[in-house]
Amino acid sequence: MERQLVLKVGEVEVANGLSWRAVGLGLLLLLPNAYWVTMMELVRYAGHPSNIAPFANVVFILICLLCVNPLLRFLHSQTRLTWFRPFSPTELMLVYLILSIGTAWVGHDGIQVLMPQIVYPFRYASPENRWEELFLPLLPKWLYVSDKIALRNAYEGGHLFWQPENFRPWIAPLLGWGSFCIALSLLMIGLCLLVRRRWMDEERLTYPVLYLPQEVTRPRNPIWRSNPFWLGFAASAFVDILNGFATLYPSIPSIKVRVWHYDPLLASLFVGYPWQALQGTRMSFYPFAIGLGLLLPPDLLFSCWFFYWFERLQRLVGLMAGWTQLPGYPWTNFQAFGGYAGIGLFALWIARKSFRQTAVRAIAGIDKNERLGLAMFLFGLTFLLLFARAMGMSFSTGLMFFAIYLLLLVSITRIRAELGPPAHDLHYAGPDEILIAVFGPQGLPKRDLVVAKLFYWFNRAYRSLPCPHYLEGLKIAKDHRIPFERTTILMTVSSVFAIAAAMLVHVYAFYAYGITAKFVGPAITAFGGEPFWRLQGLLAAPPLPNPYPVRAMIVGTLFTLALMWLRASVTWFPLHPVGYAISTSWSMNVLWMPLFIAYLGKMGILRLGGYRSFRETALPFGIGLILGEWTVGNLWLIYGVARGIQTYAFWV
């Protein structure tokens, strides 16, 4: 029997290390956080905090809570009321966990992609695109809004979403997709409980993404008195303050650090044969990205920019050799999928005995946490398969679809737990694309193909995937001596609240602002239409059989396994297979230069001054760069939302 503990943090009663004040605050902040992220990323298309790890908005909220601590300390000294005690590190990390889960679900690769798709197909079906003929009869009507009045009001805006004619058509889709999202969260949490012992206790992975919030919340951290920290903070804050005023008043000069300021310059460099193959190369100097790079291992930093240019070289050589005539060359996304698959398969293979023992303990009831994890995993997977079957997907295709998805979950969660890269996109290489590549659009039953594309919303990319945050939540629980069972309940409840908040905020935004009226940027149209445009192309004019994507996946997997073998055999081998998997993504096209600068700086300081010099100077400086930009940058975004104007966006 687990002994029930009641600890005292000051005078705040904490049951089993779980502060109810922190839990209540985190849950209360889920709705305003969902509104803030939706306004930034979808309505205003600026900031995009869910595209990077850790989430900038969540770290900013931690900073705000730290700033409130002196006031709480004063109020407590005057009133002696328990609820005025300053927030402890454990409480701050619980708030961080809850809001990270909330941001993951409402983020750029989650419900933010789902909600536009619910209102898109029946709004834009026309005789010209032939959707009524091609796939609309196969769409499960209970998951999409087809009422003309509700659709018109959502696209025009200026309406109240709770009016019956607006909200009633949403009830079935919200309940249907909401239950799907909850089952998905149960699957992920269960998976994390099953791999926790192996990755946390046996392999002792470091969970680098948690380093920044842990440093921010550490009591009496000497970093707050470090000159390099305040130098980095001031430098990045100055850049964002100046650029913020330059956005409002164009006569003020700016410091060009954002990516698109350099597009014209790079376009002028890559002109003519064969350099035109490098068009699309981008350059940026985000201060916070340089700071994040200083927190990463040197071999990962080196591998990121090395493999980024390795992909660029493939395009250059391909143009010179005439390979660009092959459909889809160089099949970058499929190579990347092979990289992720190799990492996931290797992680499962080396831990096969441990996972087998985990299954035995779970079935026998020896470890109640693993038993709970197995139950959640099986329930979530069963529900998802039955849901897919109710949508029209055959059971065999559903098994293949979710097997591929589970492999990606294992791979991405492992990458985050071991190395903590700031981005892991894998755009357009989810299970739907892999099944089409393997079987061809004509090799799958039409209904299976349609349903696979309807699952596009949680497979478009994986930047804000919730699963790594669940595993990091278990790491927080271990570090702060919170029972895993209670943490599991907390993460499940947080997921339910986060999913509900994200859906309601999106419906509110649709009717208040109007999808085609006040939404800035291409995100909502792209998110809403992409799966249906792709379906139209696959069904109206099926492409010819193309063996190259499958070959690219095989090559990517074998190349990744070869890199792993070389790293195990040759101690000085500098290339990391994770760099190959993540460096062909959209995010790395933006981040390669800041990570390259961080690599040069980190290696220079380590060689000249050693680890102690890096620890005392470069590390605080890097954290200062991150917090300075995220503090000022988020303040500009809040100001823009409050005033209803476009302000400086510190990222993308």
Task: Provide mean pLDDT across the span 49-70.
Answer: 95
Q: How many residues does the chain have?
A: 652
Please list the alpha-helical segments (H only) found in 514-614: 523-540, 548-569, 577-582, 586-613
Position 8 pLDDT exceeds 50: no
Domain residue limits, the chain: 6-643
The letter for the amino acid at 594 is P
pLDDT in tens, 275-315: 888 888 888 999 999 999 999 999 999 999 999 999 999 99
Q: What is the pLDDT of residue 2?
A: 36
Per-residue pLDDT at 270:
82
Which among 8, 25, 5 is positioned nearest to 16, based on CA atoms?
5
pLDDT level of residue 577 (50, 70, 90 thresholds)? very high
Q: What is the mean pLDDT of residues 104-116?
A: 94
Nearest to 97 by CA among 634, 497, 578: 497
Q: Residue 152 pLDDT more than 90?
A: yes
Can you tell me whether residue 130 is helix, strand or coil? coil
As given in the structure block, the two tokens for residue 14 are: 């904490």
Phi-psi group of 514: left, alpha or beta (phi > 0 → left; psi -120 to 50 → alpha; rest → beta): left
- Give the pLDDT confidence score for residue 261 in this predicted structure: 53
Confidence bin at 108 (pLDDT 50/70/90):
confident
Cis amide prior to 54 (ω within 30 degrees): yes
Q: What is the pLDDT of residue 1?
A: 34
pLDDT at 641 over 50: yes
pLDDT at residue 10 greater than cutoff 60: no
CA 354 to each of CA 359, 426, 475: distance values in angstroms, whole numbers, following the listed order: 9, 28, 19
Tens digit of pLDDT for each residue in 62-100?
999 999 999 999 998 888 887 789 999 999 999 999 999
Angle at 470 between CA 464 and CA 475, to 5 degrees: 125
In 3D space, the residue among 292, 209, 304 whose CA is nearest the CA of residue 577 turns out to be 304
Higher pLDDT, 516 or 630: 630
Is it the case that residue 340 has pLDDT exceeding 50?
yes
Q: What pLDDT is stored for residue 405 in this prediction?
A: 98
What is the rounded CA–CA span in Å between residue 307 and residue 528?
Answer: 32
Q: What is the model's pLDDT at position 78?
A: 85
Is the pLDDT reported for residue 6 higher than 60? no
- Asked which of 195-199, 216-220, 311-315, 431-435 is least confident by mean pLDDT, the reply is 216-220
pLDDT(5) > 60:
no
As a whole number, the mean pLDDT across the chain is: 92
**Hey, CA dihedral for 398, 404, 407, 411, is it positive or negative?**
negative
- Specify the pTM: 0.95
Longest dimension (CA), the chain: 77
Strand partners, 13: 8
Instruction: Determine the 3-state secondary structure of 605 from DSSP.
Output: helix
pLDDT of amino acid 223? 92
Q: What is the mean pLDDT of residues 180-209?
A: 96
pLDDT at 269: 77
